Amino acid sequence: MRFYRALLHLYPKSFRSEYGNELCSLFGQQWRDTSGPAASLLLWIRTFLEILFNAFAVHWDLLRQDLRYTARTLSRSPGFAIVAVLVAALGIGAGTAVFTVTDHALIRPLPFAAPDRLVALWETTPGYSRMELSPLNYRDWKARSASFESIAAHRGLSVNLSGQGEPERLEGSAITAELLPLLGVRPAIGRIFTAEDDRDGAPGTLLLSYGLWQAAFGGDQGVLGRKVLLDGVPATIIGVMPRNFHFPRRDAEIWTPMRFAPAGFQDRNDNYLNVVARLKPAVTLKQAREEMRLITAQLSREYPKENARHGAAVNLLRDEISRQSRLLLAALFGAALCVLLISCSNLANLLLARALARQREIAVRSSLGAGRERLVRQLLTESSVLALLGGAVGVLAAYAALPLLARLVPQSMPVPEPSIDLRVLLSSLVFTVITGIGFGVIPALRGASSTSLQEGARTGAGVRTQRLRSTLVITEVAVSVVLLVSAGLLIRALPGVQSASYISFLPMTVRGGIWPVSVDGNTQLDRSENHTACLRYVTPSFFETLGIPLRSGRDVSDSDTASSTPVAVVSESFVKRYWPGQNPLGRHFNFAFQERTVIGVVGDVRVRGLEGPSEPQVYLSHMQVPDNTITWYAPKDLVIRSSVDDATLLPAVHAIIRNADPALPISEVRSMADLVAEDTGPRRLQLRVLGAFAISAFLLAGIGIHGLLSFAVSQRSREIGVRIALGAQSGDILSLVLRQSLILAAAGVALGTGLGYSAGRAMQSLLAGVSPADATAFLASITIVLLMALFGSLVPALRALRVDPTTAIRAE
Amino acid sequence: MATSEPPVDSFLPLPPATFHILMALAAEDRHGYAIIQDVAARSEGAMRLSAGTLYRSIQRMLDQGLITETSERPAPEFDDERRRYYRITPLGTSVARAESLRLAQLLSLARASGFAPGRA
């Protein structure tokens, strides 16, 4: 019998307390009617199944009843329902979308086998913490190190693919045969490179990305063995990589073997190899670093001239994502958290106010015999419905926003496009339900436990609840100040970013290189003193076309040929470093294998983004590229300045090029404005996303203040009525309401200003020189928030003014 | 919870258990166990209500106003104080009648189609 009673706990409490005794006595009757162990066993089994089925049915009946009731109450206050759902949706949507992106970029392991053992290797010198390796050092490191299972190299590749439809310009990577096995990747079809493909002089081979295979070859299986031309050199397609393989960047489309010609092993300072390695299972990162330190020290002793003060950096591949991208994602993550926080507190506020307003209803229902358990159950259903609706809308919004946010993941990362996964969905769901239950049920429950009809008659809000709600509003205001300030600072930084990008986006920047400089006969190639400069080959009128000012001397000209004196145009920062305060024209320095004569000085450009100062630059004449040695740097991009519009210009350019050489592929003909837009695009996108968060937070805080004051006014209408009856003027009443709003706003602003400053400092490197204490951004944000507070309190204040003293007092 | 009585038709068709309980209560007030026994006897064992089904139906029927709990008790020597007695309401009677009518009409239709024995 005791077991039977225990089984009855499967029923809802209300049902059990109502019919438990009856059920027990019925069961007792049946028990007495049965005899024999077989019959008793049968009775038990039947009873158990029966209880299971009916308990579920009773729960289901209650749920349906509660859902109907919820639908009725919510449709009676649609404004509340819509606002609550939207508020929840906003927070959850922002949270889900941003968490998805952050998860992909920062949290997930890289999509390679045992990714935590993958490292990147760099050379270091006192000036540079991450420098590519030269083939010679690569060969020596590989031969001498014992910490790694395998070491592989790759370098950027940009080739014209022809012999197959329209010629195309493709980005990709030249890789050594060890690379793909090292990453643990197998091809989707065909084979990957072998050591044979790496041999100098082997027939050309290439691998396609899945995307390129689909786009350019229609996913044709017969593509294997097909011959194409890469920059005019025949090569055979040997395989297609899997759909989710991206390396070293997300946009890599093609891979070719990397071959080292004997000529490549001449200069220990010809650094162009990116190197990845896989740690042996038993070796820690620290041990590998220690070993590499010993090896580089040894190499420094063996090659004191080239490898002086050289070191090695061993970084986890995962940590290679740039600090700036990391920071931006972190900032967005923070912003999304803020929005989530604010929307939760708003939801809490809404539900609290509603629970308080419903105390009377709850009191009536409980005095009519509804058990506490039934009431809680009812409220639970209602909150969960609101939260789930909000969650559903939020996830839909996140889906819609994801393609946009996906562009925030830097192209330079070897990860696929983010997509919402089950974990994120589930955590959003849990989060919503907790919010709903936490703020919808607990306050109501407190109400329900203490409520009697008498108390319900006087709708007095508890002081504690009032204080909680005020705290929530202050938090909302503070968070929206933080977001507005952050967005404001980024907006202030945008012009700097744009102009900086404009001049940094030289089409030949990627073909640059860093070379040692030695001045005035000092031929020792000493990198330790940071005597380096960026090299770029240019054609005449390059500076004029791109708007780089010529400060003195002359541009390179058609007469600077391979047979004439090697000349160089240098940047102002180059002059400042090597000949401070002197006239550089006509001076000589040794650079990229040759003695150069300075013929001109041009303005600085920032080639490496906004963080560092401008590095010294050297521009050499394209006619003076030495044969076969550094052709990689030879100009391949054409820049045209024109006063006509693109539509007229582009066909003309095509015609001229076709005339000159019909076989020459023309790729990526784009206007400079497009290039600049592309370059600043992510930045503006980030700003827009942050701006959207700031606006959401701002609106939410407005709703919060409005809700709090409306509620306070309706709570205090009797007090206000009495005051009016006692002769209070409109001004008094108005200041009564507005004072409350301003106190909340001021507290929030004070808190938010401090936090905003910290946020600004944290993202200082994104601000392109704008101070994190930028007065304009702060003043604008504070003004906006104060105006919002005022606006939010307008309607409640007017309602307070319209309180009719006679009705208010009669209600007493 | 219903303040005004809903139309009789809105209850139709009745779930079998509900109809059986109404029939069991037609002649006299009964407690739960008596209902089960009466239903079993009336249907010659074809309809055996389980305890859970019975009280689930009773709860719903109380809500709908088809039956009430009665405070009148039989003579103390027959009474068990744990037992609750239920009585059919006028609404319950009307609903049971309407259901019977509905079934009768259905049956005559079935006869006309040759599905059921008896005169068409």
Instruction: Among A12-16, A165-169, A443-447, name the one with the lowest average pLDDT.
Output: A443-447
At residue A202, the pLDDT reads 83
Contacts of B50 in chain A (CB under 8 A): 46-47, 50, 54
Q: Determine, for residues A54 and B60 on separate chains, whether the beta-carbon distance falls below 8 Å.
A: no
Contacts of B82 in chain A (CB under 8 A): 21-22, 25
Q: Determine, for residues B55 and A46 on separate chains, whether the beta-carbon distance falls below 8 Å.
A: no
**Would you say residue A404 has pLDDT above 90?**
no
Phi, psi of A255 (to 5 degrees): -130, 135
Higher pLDDT pick, A212 / A724: A212
**CA neighbor of A115 nearest in space, from A285, A317, A289, A274:** A317
Which CATH number belongs to the domain containing residue B30 in this structure? 1.10.10.10
Which residue bears the tokens 């709708």? A459
Per mean pLDDT, which of A38-42, A141-145, A413-417, A630-634 is the most reliable? A141-145
pLDDT in tens, A346-399: 777 777 777 766 766 777 777 776 667 777 787 778 888 888 888 888 888 888
Residue B23 maps to a domain? yes
Q: Are A333 and A471 in contact (CB under 8 A)?
A: no
Q: Determine, for residues B56 and A50 on separate chains, whether the beta-carbon distance falls below 8 Å.
A: no
Q: Where are the domains of chain A?
A: 2-67, 77-114+323-460, 126-309, 465-495+671-812, 508-638
Global confidence as pTM: 0.62
Nearest Cα residue in chain A from B49: A50
- CB-nearest to A50 from B33, B52, B84 is B52
Instruction: Among A31-40, A102-111, A293-302, A561-570, name the one with the lowest average pLDDT.
Output: A102-111
Rounded to an integer, what distance in angstroms lies between the CA atom of residue B47 and that of residue A186? Answer: 66
Q: Determine, for residues B55 and A61 on separate chains, whether the beta-carbon distance falls below 8 Å.
A: no
The token pair that represents A184 in the structure block: 């643990």
Read off the pLDDT band of A445 (50, 70, 90).
Answer: low
**CA neighbor of A397 nearest in space, from A91, A61, A72, A758:** A91
Q: Are A347 and A439 in contact (CB under 8 A)?
A: yes
- CB-nearest to B55 from A23, A46, A47 is A23
Q: Report chain A's terminal Cα–Cα distance, integer Å.
A: 55
Contacts of B31 in chain A (CB under 8 A): 22
Task: Tell me what the mean pLDDT of segment B74-91 comes to.
Answer: 73
Pairing mode, strands A233-240 and A204-208 = parallel
Higher pLDDT pick, B21 / A484: B21
pLDDT in tens, A783-796: 888 888 888 778 77
Q: Determine, for residues A26 and B33 on separate chains, whether the beta-carbon distance falls below 8 Å.
A: yes
Distance between A18 CA and the closest CA of chain B, angstroms: 9
Among residues 57-96 of chain A, which lie with CB inside 8 Å of chain B?
57-58, 61
Among residues 26-85 of chain B, which lie with CB inside 8 Å of chain A?
31-33, 36, 50-56, 58-60, 80, 82-84
**Would you say residue B22 has pLDDT above 90?**
yes
Nearest Cα residue in chain A from B85: A22
The count of domains in chain B is 1
The token pair that represents A637 in the structure block: 């991009």
**CA neighbor of A765 nearest in space, from A535, A489, A547, A523:** A489
At residue A667, the pLDDT reads 55
At residue A145, the pLDDT reads 92
Residue B63 maps to a domain? yes
**Would you say residue B2 has pLDDT above 60?**
no
| HSE of A805, CA atoms in CB hemisphere, 13 A | 10
Q: Determine, for residues A25 and B50 on separate chains, whether the beta-carbon distance falls below 8 Å.
A: no
**Would you say residue A558 has pLDDT above 50?**
yes
Instruction: Among A105-119, A237-251, A395-409, name the one with the lowest average pLDDT.
Output: A395-409
Residue A278 is inside which H or E element, if any?
strand A274-279
Rounded to an integer, what distance in angstroms lies between the CA atom of residue A212 and that of residue A218? Answer: 9
Mean pLDDT of chain A, nearest integer? 77
Q: Determine, for residues A26 and B53 on separate chains, whether the beta-carbon distance falls below 8 Å.
A: no
Task: Tell me what the mean pLDDT of segment A632-646 comes to.
Answer: 56
Read off the pLDDT band of A543 (50, 70, 90).
Answer: confident
The alpha carbon dihedral of A764, A766, A770, A774 has a sign of negative
Q: Determine, for residues A55 and B52 on separate chains, whether the beta-carbon distance falls below 8 Å.
A: yes
Residue B69 maps to a domain? yes
Q: Determine, for residues B33 and A25 on separate chains, whether the beta-carbon distance falls below 8 Å.
A: yes
Q: Does A22 touch chain B (CB under 8 A)?
A: yes
**Would you say residue A505 has pLDDT above 50?**
no
Please report, to the nearest 10 degrees, the dihedral formed by the alpha carbons of residues B112, B116, B118, B120 taken in order: 0
Write a three-state SS string for A273-339. Answer: EEEEEEECCCCCHHHHHHHHHHHHHHHHHHCCCCCCCCEEEEEEHHHHCCHHHHHHHHHHHHHHHHH
At residue A444, the pLDDT reads 61
- CB-nearest to A54 from B32, B36, B53 is B53
Rounded to an integer, what distance in angstroms lies between the CA atom of residue A66 and that of residue A244? Answer: 47
Task: Tell me what the mean pLDDT of segment A665-677 comes to.
Answer: 57
User: What are residue A229's DSSP bridge partners?
Assistant: A162, A234
**Would you say residue A754 has pLDDT above 80?**
yes
Contacts of B36 in chain A (CB under 8 A): 26
Cis bond upstream, residue A248 (ω within 30): yes
Q: Are A486 and A760 in contact (CB under 8 A)?
A: yes
At residue A291, the pLDDT reads 94
The token pair that represents B102 in the structure block: 């509905």
> How many Cβ pairs within 8 Å bridge chains A and B?
53
Instruction: Among A44-58, A190-204, A483-497, name the one with the lowest average pLDDT.
Output: A483-497
Q: Are A432 and A391 in contact (CB under 8 A)?
A: yes
At residue A297, the pLDDT reads 92
Rounded to an integer, what distance in angstroms lies between the CA atom of residue B32 and that of residue B59? Answer: 12
**Would you say residue A476 has pLDDT above 50?**
yes
Task: Tell me what the mean pLDDT of segment A142-171 comes to.
Answer: 84
Cα-based distances in Å from A245 to A207, A254, B60, B81: 12, 11, 60, 77
Instruction: Among A171-185, A246-260, A443-457, name the one with the lowest average pLDDT.
Output: A443-457
Instruction: Among A60-64, A144-148, A301-305, A318-322, name the one with the lowest average pLDDT.
Output: A318-322
User: What are residue A620's DSSP bridge partners?
Assistant: A537, A568
Among residues 40-59 of chain A, which lie with CB inside 8 Å of chain B?
46-47, 50-51, 53-55, 57-58
Q: Are A238 and A224 in contact (CB under 8 A)?
A: yes
Which residue bears the tokens 């960047």? A249
Q: Does A305 touch chain B (CB under 8 A)?
A: no
At residue A607, the pLDDT reads 55
Query: How many CB atoms are located within 10 Å of the residue A342 CB?
Result: 31
Contacts of B83 in chain A (CB under 8 A): 22, 25
Contacts of A18 in chain B (CB under 8 A): 55, 59
Domain span at residue B59 reads 14-89
